[in-house]
Structure 1
């Protein structure tokens, strides 16, 4: 791509961008219905280039700009419908100036080209590349808008010998004008953009059929790992989680991509599993968590998603608790209690530093450690407490009600409270006030 085409667009808009970035927050005044990306990733350097189309709908009147999460990509040839538009990139946002104000309910389509090396979110290793969490660094999207679920169409232009895994289902591959092959992935339901991801390259695979969906294992380490041995517990974990959710795996398929290091990240339809984390668990089986935790997110976090980060505990507290519940099922009550003791110690450590907040606190956390202590560990402890308070049958029935009723949707703590109250026939206001709302 000719960078001389890109630079004037940015320079012409620089002054305007500085003014806009202080007043226009990503996502203000619109919601996204669909992202479509044609991506050419460099498997050696993690650089990318491509084109993107975004279908948006106004949620308020007189929207004059479309702002998205900032990244390091260079944008060119931006158009809204058939009209060229100005684009500016700053450390705060990527802002597209609309040719005319967007009214509430009206839809427009934004198209542009991009190229660059993402600052985060893509890792190239052993002839492969994988995306982890920061989707809005390798494409343009809304990183911090979990409630704005949208469809994703992702076309990956890859070498002929490459395999890929992505969001949703794959269509038959097609040849392109150059020596590359197009791998087409289409989401089967809307997902939050932080869950968009892919892996591509030399990825030996194994697959196993279960009653709840197909499990696929990919080796992205380049080391010929024994995938069947490493993921031996995955079928049993799938059966346990599907039973507790009252639903099979979304899309009846789930992939786990083995990668170097301690990576642990759920995506829509697959997860990254760090080889070093599995090695640590092999040496100390009582520390095992990663396979169950990331798989749990396919229901709680991906299928049913917190509307804002304020209720992130519904994603992470649930997945942390389900690890304990799985250990109880597979190894007994002592293993369950041991896992909860780990969560309790993490909460106590931040309390000793003078920090303790309710689960749905909407303030700023002083550190990632503090956020995890509250939303992951305290969230798990609350679920264990709730289970003891309302009883085994009511708790699991309430969880199934919550999951089925809100599948494909976004939720708040109140939605979870309502499900548990209906299941138990009890007023749980005091319990939720103490643990969740802090009132």
Structure 2
């Protein structure tokens, strides 16, 4: 992901994400079934406007309002099940007052118009734009609720001649009056809203087939980049990761959008790859660190997602470990060991600061670097230790079991432990207590 943007948001919300909800907390009392957004982005200014529909289901018996993550958009003409409702936007939430109490298990349809310039998360590039991580700044959703996966339909209304990429698969384009074209994207399984993203512009495009599905390369730099050369290792990486996951790309298609700068972030169905990140790897072309890491998230992080941020290591530790495993596969054991040594040095620096925390620790970190050292680097080291302890056959069978069993779902560390114990036939409580929980965990948890 775009590490600094994303982790700064997580750092601010780390403890709150696992606390008991308070009145007005986004997501309190309901879960989202699906989002549908008809979006008109301005490619010159990054302003957006549109209409959004959200179908929610009550999770308690006394829901009187729906609260979503705050943003800078202006909301108007809001209705719930066709009845006009009031909305309020504040620093903590966007709130819609329900015309009736929503009971547990009941559905309601919220619909409204929105317009404005997102405060973050939308970037202009080469006569186009792309969004990154902060989906709930250009639409209304639940930014810090990774456990609330929902379906998404996104209609992008764009000038003729513009390419687009977004969540899921694209339907046929529809030409409209005024030299506009509707691009419809629809998810094939539910995703967490922080993974919603889109990009649009006059992007050069290449595509190749891999054993995991179609690979699409897009150039958002406007420099005429040699996409085939830059992403030369992508088909082999895709095959390796699909084998370890035990399944192809979640959408049988995966796009990589080359953009200026140091962007490195996964979204559902595609990733943003900064050209300076690729430039940094030219001295060691065998690594393809960014390509492998972001691609790994299509399975571990996107398809199988941590239920809360406290188990974020299941996303990032797995992706970091998969880079090391890929380097071992492509370049030998020395490359694997080198990657793990880098991780050890990062954890050692965190330890010097007194923050060698368990992977599932929910407390606050003193810096983004320390948080990354634990959830990324220590997570990767734990997986390497687990692999060595169980042996390759049991370890990789456990990873495949975990991935296939929880495809499209959200998970906790215990779900991963259960899969690894099943694959190995061993009680791993002590090992998980040492690395993940920080204390013995009862077997029935």
Q: Normalising TM by the smaller chain, what interval?
A: over 0.9
Give, in angstroms, the shift of residue 318 of structure 1: 0.1
The answer to whether the 8 Å contact 2:287/2:327 transfers is no
After superposition, give the CA deviation of every residue in 1:223-247 in whole Å (9 maximum; x if it has no partner).
0000000000000001100111111
Equivalent-residue separation in structure 2 for 1:367 and 1:68 (angstroms): 27
d(CA) in 2 for partners of 1:286 and 1:73? Answer: 44
Deviation at 1:286, TM superposition (A): 6.6
Spell out the pairing of 1:8-407 with structure 2 (5 A cutoff). 23-285=23-285, 288-407=288-407
Tell me by how many angstroms 1:263 deviates: 0.3
TM-score in terms of structure 2 length:
0.93
C-alpha displacement of 1:267: 0.6
State the secondary structure of the residue aligned to 2:355. coil
Deviation string, structure 1 residues 168-217 (Cα, Å, up to 9, x no partner): 11111112343211101011110000110111011110000122201000
- Between 1:77-86 and 1:357-366, the stretch displaced more is 357-366
CA distance in 2, matches of 1:83, 1:235: 51
* Alignment CA distance shift 1:31-1:268 (3 Å): same
| Deviation per residue, 1:113-145 (Å, 9 max, x gap) | 001111111101110111101000000000011
State the Cα distance separating 1:417 from its structure 2 match. 0.3
SS, match of residue 369 in structure 1 = helix
Cα distance change, pair 22–390 in 1 and its aligned pair in 2 (3 A): closer
- In the superposition, the TM-score normalised over structure 1's length comes to 0.94
What is the aligned-residue RMSD (CA, Å)? 1.2
Deviates more, 1:234-243 or 1:367-376: 367-376
Q: Does the 8 A contact of 2:211 with 2:238 survive in 1?
A: no
Assess, with a 3 A threshold, how the Cα gap between structure 1 residues 352 and 286 changes in structure 2: closer, same or farther. farther
Q: CA deviation at 1:364?
A: 2.1
Secondary structure of the corresponding residue to residue 250 of structure 1: coil
Q: Flag structure 1 segments of 5+ consecutive residues without an equivalent.
A: 1-20
Secondary structure of the residue aligned to 1:358 is coil
1:365, distance to aligned residue in structure 2 (A): 2.3
Q: Distance in 1 between matches of 2:257 and 2:279?
A: 15
Tell me if the contact between 2:135 and 2:196 (Cα under 8 Å) persists in the aligned partners: yes
More off after superposition, 374-383 vs 359-368:
359-368
CA separation of 1:141 and 1:289: change in aligned 2, threshold 3 A: same
> Does structure 2 retain, via aligned residues, the 8 Å contact 1:245–1:403?
yes
| Higher deviation after alignment, 223-232 or 245-254 | 245-254
Q: Tell me, what secondary structure is at the counterpart of 1:310? A: helix
Any conservation in 1 of the 2:48–2:117 contact (CA below 8 Å)? yes
Deviation at 1:288, TM superposition (A): 3.8
Aligned to 2:173, the other structure's residue is in SS state strand
Q: Is this contact kept in 2: 1:286–1:335, CA < 8 A?
A: no
Shift of 1:355: 1.4
Q: Matches of 2:220 and 2:128 in 1, distance apart? A: 7
Q: Secondary structure at the match of 2:319?
A: helix
Unpaired runs of 5+ residues, structure 2, are 1-20, 440-445
Q: Render the CA deviation track for 1:281-309: whole Å, top value 9, x for unaligned.
A: 01344764100000000110111111111
- 2:413 corresponds in structure 1 to 413
Post-superposition CA distance 1:329-353 (Å, at most 9, x none): 0001110000001111111111111
Deviations 1:85-123 (A, max 9, x none): 111111111011111111000100000000111111110
Contact 1:255–1:269 (Cα < 8 Å) also in 2: yes
